[in-house]
Chains A and B, each alone.
Chain A
Amino acid sequence: MVQLVNLKRISDYEWEIPASYRQDMRVPVRIFVSEKLLKEALRDKSLEQAVNAATLPGLVGHVVVMPDMHQGYGFPIGGVAATRYPDGVISPGSIGYDINCGVRLLASQIPYEEAAPYMDDLASALNRYCPSGVGKGGRLKLSEKELDRLCVEGARWALSKGYATPQDLRRTEEGGQLKGADPGKVSARAKKRGLPQIGTLGAGNHFIEVDIIEEIYHPQAAEAMWLREGHLALQIHCGSRGFGHQICSDYVRQFQGAVKRYGIQLPDRELVCAPMNSPEGEAYLAAMRCAANYAFVNRQVLAHWARQAFEEALAGKVANPFLHQVYDIAHNMGKIETHEVEGRRMKVCVHRKGATRAFGPGFEGLPEEYRAIGQPVLVPGSMGTASWVLVGTEGSMARSFGSTCHGAGRVMSRRKAKKQIWGEDLRAELEASGVRVRAGSLAGLAEEAPQAYKDVDAVVETVAGAGIARKVARLRPVAVVKG
């Protein structure tokens, strides 16, 4: 187990495990964390998993770990690793099963006071319009041919079907469409699972949440995003459902043989990988992009239905019930990007697993209105606690491969949460504190209780203090829909 004594303190918010810590490490591990959060993190295996990740072939710079880190499987949650393109490796398990799990933020011009009398109606309408729950099918009926088209076109498919506005696409990472997706590299089983689940929230830690914009910290950025203090906003947190889970499972399984063929030695079979320019690596990248595009569509369709729910609950009662898109961002993804590493610009594949892309000001891929402020970063909290809007900085570009944190990060096991927290009590507590709850499973609700997570404010203070993101606005929840 990694211990405090094995870490070198670089600043109040930055620590390092040198590559000399273990013989098989290829690069150091750089951890953005306060001492308090670090001591909490040392209780689980997240840093040991980061050390394992540092053995991947073709790594450049350092493996980065965010303050919301926690133990996962193979690669830690909150981890970022960049491999040299095209001969470095791509590792499906280091991106995760829920490919392009991410967050979408929509905001409104609705003052909370105007909507307050109708919040129960709004929570119920959201729950009715947006299908959620374990394995539940959705309202969209697609043919396999249509699914293939969706995989290639991503959010453009949603636009062509009337589920999106052009502005939604402009304000989505990569415009909601990763190029290079090939449905021919996706198994029949993944398609079978994906067909009925498009446009569904799922269960687990996924949610739709109505928030109040409680405090603005960066007026210029808030203005560019049309965020107003006291107004309502909406977050959608979900990913690629069974489609992405199956694609990752298929390739983790196939790559068990690939590592032998390419003579790759790894400390954990979940880290299996293949060179990006190998047939196996190219196939996974093409399939992963299908799942990424599926997830962009998934959140887009849910956003469309959430707009309908707002319309139904609030039309005629507030001046303008429309929700405008602020941004949509992935936090489980592998992307080919150009970064400066040890003074040299180079193309790399950035694996982000439970970490958000956070490109600084000036990045060409951003919509014009965001270019001066940097890319919006969406950091959901847990029910009953705050969520944050941040922006990427020059610091994130220079030190963390244009990445920052993705959430609060779990601190309590699901087992312990189930034992300590009673779903019925939790719902009553949340309702008493002004958060309306619509949950498919009370046991599932208990597992996701605020007590099971780190303090999201402390996580955000850390990334802001470290200079790898800047605070824009803090949100407070008023209604939560969970599967």
Chain B
Amino acid sequence: MEARSGYCEIEHTADWELHVWAADMPALLEQAARGMYALMRAHPAPGGERQGREFILPFVDRESLLVDFLSELLFLTEEENLLFDEYHLNLDAERLHARVVGAPLASLAKEIKAVTFHRLAVCETARGLEVNVVFDV
């Protein structure tokens, strides 16, 4: 049986593209984040101290929120060398309150330059929500 939420990589000539699906928007954000870190081949340091970070993002539309959320994680990862694997996401009509928890990075094989809006459309389907995200690498 297919998982209720998840991600898979899609062929793209030059960049990276992820297909992500989940029951609702917070779960979609979480799966997209997990997929992004998988593409980057990011691994936490064994026994590294768990650390949490909190941030708030405006909810203008689903696509902008997805780009903002992933961009925020990329920034935190680059600046603080942290890999997040625990997501507490609370979304209301106006904003996302995010608390993410992770550990220091042991290794990161690939760099993502940016999360793009290319053909970005969060669609409602029988599975809930689905989206394809293209990353510039």
Contact = CB atoms under 8 A, between A and B. Distances in A.
Interface in B67-103: 67-68, 71, 75, 78-79
A414 B14 CA distance: 7
Given A134-B109, A441-B109, A256 B11 contact: no
Interface string A194-226: 000000001110000000000000000000000
Contacts of A242: 78
A249 B57 CA distance: 15
B114 A268 contact: no
Interface residues of A, number: 42
B12 A189 contact: no
Contacts of A249: 71, 114-115
Interface string A177-193: 00000000000010011
A416 B11 contact: yes
Contact of A189 (B9, B60, B75, B113): B75
A410 B79 contact: no
Contact of A192 (B14, B79, B108): B79
B117 A44 contact: no
A134 B116 contact: no
A414 B114 CA distance: 16
A70 interface: yes
B13 A253 contact: no
A98 interface: yes
A472 interface: no
Contacts of B63: 269
Contacts of A268: 117-119
Interface stretch (A1-9, A72-80, A139-147, A386-394): A72-80
B102 to A, nearest CB: 16
A248 B114 CA distance: 9
Interface string B1-32: 00000000101111110000000000000000
A444 interface: yes
Contacts of A414: 12, 14-16, 137
Given A203-B110, A444-B110, A256 B64 contact: yes
Nearest to B61: A256
A413 interface: yes
A482 to B, nearest CB: 12
B109 A71 contact: no
Contacts of A313: none
B65 to A, nearest CB: 11
B53 interface: no
B41 to A, nearest CB: 7
B38 interface: no
A93 interface: yes
A443 B117 contact: no
B124 interface: no
Contacts of B68: 253
A413 B12 contact: yes
B113 A97 contact: yes
Interface string A442-480: 011001000000000000000000000000000000000
Interface string A133-165: 011000000000000000000000000000000
A435 B111 CA distance: 25
A245 interface: yes
A285 interface: no
Contacts of B108: 134-135
B15 to A, nearest CB: 6
Interface string A413-452: 1111000000000000000000000000101100100000
A97 B136 contact: yes
Interface string B34-70: 0000000100000000000000000010011001100
Given A134-B108, A134-B111, A269 B41 contact: no
Contacts of B14: 70-72, 77, 410, 413-414
A100 to B, nearest CB: 13
Contact of A44 (B13, B67, B110): B13
Interface string A93-114: 1001110000000000000000
A270 interface: yes
Contact of B111 (A70, A203, A256, A410): A203
A119 interface: no
A98 B113 contact: yes
B83 to A, nearest CB: 12
Nearest to B118: A73
3 closest residue pairs by CB, A with B? A73-B118, A269-B117, A270-B118
Interface of B: 9, 11-16, 41, 60, 63-64, 67-68, 71, 75, 78-79, 108-111, 113-120, 134, 136-137
Interface of A: 44, 46, 70-74, 77, 93, 96-98, 134-135, 189, 192-193, 202-204, 242, 245, 248-249, 252-253, 256, 268-270, 272, 410-416, 441, 443-444, 447
9 contacts: A73-B15, A93-B116, A203-B111, A204-B111, A245-B136, A256-B60, A412-B13, A413-B14, A416-B11
Given A74-B117, A93-B116, A203-B110, 16 more contacts: A70-B13, A71-B14, A72-B15, A73-B116, A74-B118, A96-B136, A98-B136, A134-B110, A193-B75, A203-B111, A245-B136, A249-B71, A269-B63, A270-B119, A412-B13, A441-B109
